[in-house]
Structure 1
């Protein structure tokens, strides 16, 4: 989760309680600040925040641990209190106990609040937090009676109240944007993997690009960085969308892809080779190859493959004979590897004056207008981060249509030379590309 306003978390809790209970007013005020005329009210008060140590050493996109560019991970602590006063300005404990019981039940029933959490037709997660794999975990804190009593200020006779304490985590405060990123690594070291069982050892692909004034280059990449560029080079060259998986005991297996974008159980898709001939899947006991396409057919329904990081594993199903002539299908699955599906930049218009858009084209197969890609496209030129904006100012870009970006460069046609252009979509970076300015 990346947010800039902690009040959106509190508003989410208020929406949950208000929608679930219905008969009570829910406010964010401190429990000692409500007047003695208050009736049927529940206060949800944020009284403490603590940094989550698990995220303390996160590495920023620029490869450093600069605090400016790493998110601040917080656990938020709330006190939930019921308030109901009679006409004599004295609290009515039985009514307050009923209200707090409703609140306890509501927060127990919804310990996880995410994009899909609804009560009736009401979305519970605040609209500014939805659409980015955000989620809140609501944890009841079993505070002892003595500790609970010390929470209140004894100078105010109204403040020793029946309350419940909750922790909401993990809340990531949005870091400062990265303004410069280093190059990417095309190969990583070896890892120890189990033997004797079906497993994947590594994933492979090629990263194909043409440097300025040079011949085409195809570099091996492991883990795989598969470009959604569906027009392959002449045989026997390895195409850009070619994925190879190496392992053992893979015979008869089917590819299983996992992505949070898939609206399927466990966000997984089993790729049926017969229903996806364009994937050109070949399986041996030690190797599986496929050509990643822009969609995969699942029971007659196409599922879009967008750029991003995917998990891949191999599933093998076999029928086991049972007594009485019955059979049972037994399914086993390998370990999972991660690989990137990347965009591919094909061309750009000539560079003109500053403030005049340069149109950059990506290969067919990617729809930049897909709603799932909103806010997920990043552009860097000469290592400088460009902002997505319709202002037309230098160092900005906007999506023109499904295959084109309008990029407002920070230089004009007088800046001769080769300017590295980097396109990232959902964290997956396109193969190297340069905007060339002739002398």
Structure 2
């Protein structure tokens, strides 16, 4: 997950060091130490400076694939960063005992970053999650600190030459921190390619897939359009056309990107086959396994009996999309609306794979009651959102939901 506020990384490691050192047997019974983002020379009392002094772009993240072919500009891609920190102890005063105390703190801090070099959603100290007070919990961030080997002769370059003595310090590189990109505001149309293949006689061959989309225009006029390749919502009818759909048994096979093998549509899909046409009603599960929105490949498998032996043949694959359904759009007052349909949530879906747009505005996701321009996923079948501020009352705007790249059927909302 990307972020824009680099201070969250500094604060995360500062919290980790302070809490771990407080529990260290070598440090007790002393109180929790002060870990400051200020450079060492600006600290007014005893503590530890964890100072961000340099930033580099990581070479391995300079050329990521674009989030969408219609948004391939650099500003739409997250920037991978490596943050360089200098960690130095600040003694409370000039005495030897105070300097020894600072060196003890420094040793405890070194051990913390050696034992726990990575901070993620699971990192906790005494039952308290490090990311929770920073608002990063659940965003799937992973920050890893690595000690940079700096030779004694090179360490002097980090301090201003003169009468001031060199300071005790360690240098860390924290990676990979992804800087927030600009939100994607446009998506490319669906593009699929056809292949030319040779098939023996009487073998199943799929020419095309299509589906029917019913929706209502803002003026109340009902519309029906045919979409090919098919983009079918749950409960909608998928149609495959071709030839050779004959035999003692005809099966519809569906395969998604994460499937090890095609899945066979069960009785709930109500598959009806004719020699040149096959229809099926798309459901949320196949044999008890969830079918998420997204791109799939559809195939036809035929089984014939020849000389008392079953002969099985599988057709070529054609691309289809299974899209999230929007069954109802209900105003709740105060600019708040509820969407019933889905599915909008699943353990296999990442948070960034669910998007909601109203007109040209992309709404941000909220974990609590949504504010203006935000949406909250209540459960797999329900979303609540609040329209952005500044919209013109009476304006009709298209409502679009993208789940795993699949866009919901057309739906319009009139701004109250």
- TM-score band w.r.t. shorter chain: 0.5 to 0.7
Q: 5 Å matches for 1:83-98?
A: 83-84=90-91, 88-90=94-96, 94-98=100-104
1:122 matched residue in structure 2: 128
Q: If you compute each CA radius of gyration, which structure gives the higher value, 1 or 2?
A: 2
> CA distance change for structure 1 residues 294 and 366 in 2, over 3 Å: closer, same or farther?
farther
1:150-191: CA deviation from partner (whole Å, max 9, x where unpaired):
111123524x1222110111212223434x31244253699x
Shift of 1:57: 4.1
2:402 matched residue in structure 1: 424
1:33 matched residue in structure 2: 42
- Aligned partners of 1:226 and 1:292 also within 8 Å: no
TM value normalised by structure 2: 0.61
Shift of 1:386: 4.2
The separation in 1 between residues aligned to 2:344 and 2:409, in whole angstroms, is: 17
Shift of 1:387: 5.4
1:244 matched residue in structure 2: 254
Segments of 5+ residues of structure 1 without an aligned counterpart are 191-203, 248-253, 258-270, 281-290, 298-302, 311-338
2:311 matched residue in structure 1: none
The separation in 1 between residues aligned to 2:177 and 2:155, in whole angstroms, is: 25
Whether 2:213 is the aligned partner of 1:209: answer: yes
Whether 2:228 is the aligned partner of 1:219: answer: yes
2:304 matched residue in structure 1: none
Shift of 1:130: 1.8
> CA distance change for structure 1 residues 405 and 246 in 2, over 3 Å: closer, same or farther?
closer
Question: What is the aligned residue count?
Answer: 337
2:173 matched residue in structure 1: 167
- Aligned partners of 2:253 and 2:263 also within 8 Å: no
CA RMSD, 1 decimal: 5.0
> CA distance change for structure 1 residues 243 and 164 in 2, over 3 Å: closer, same or farther?
farther
Whether 2:77 is the aligned partner of 1:99: answer: no
TM value normalised by structure 1: 0.59
- Aligned partners of 1:84 and 1:91 also within 8 Å: no
Q: Please state whether the residue corresponding to 2:176 is helix, strand or coil.
A: strand
The separation in 2 between residues aligned to 1:188 and 1:107, in whole angstroms, is: 51
Shift of 1:423: 0.4
2:14 matched residue in structure 1: 14
Q: Pick from 152, 155, 161: which aligns with 1:148?
A: 155
The separation in 2 between residues aligned to 1:376 and 1:168, in whole angstroms, is: 27
- Aligned partners of 1:359 and 1:406 also within 8 Å: yes
Segments of 5+ residues of structure 2 without an aligned counterpart are 196-207, 217-221, 242-251, 271-281, 297-319
2:310 matched residue in structure 1: none
- Aligned partners of 1:31 and 1:81 also within 8 Å: yes
> CA distance change for structure 1 residues 124 and 226 in 2, over 3 Å: closer, same or farther?
farther
Q: Please state whether the residue corresponding to 2:137 is helix, strand or coil.
A: coil
Whether 2:402 is the aligned partner of 1:435: answer: no
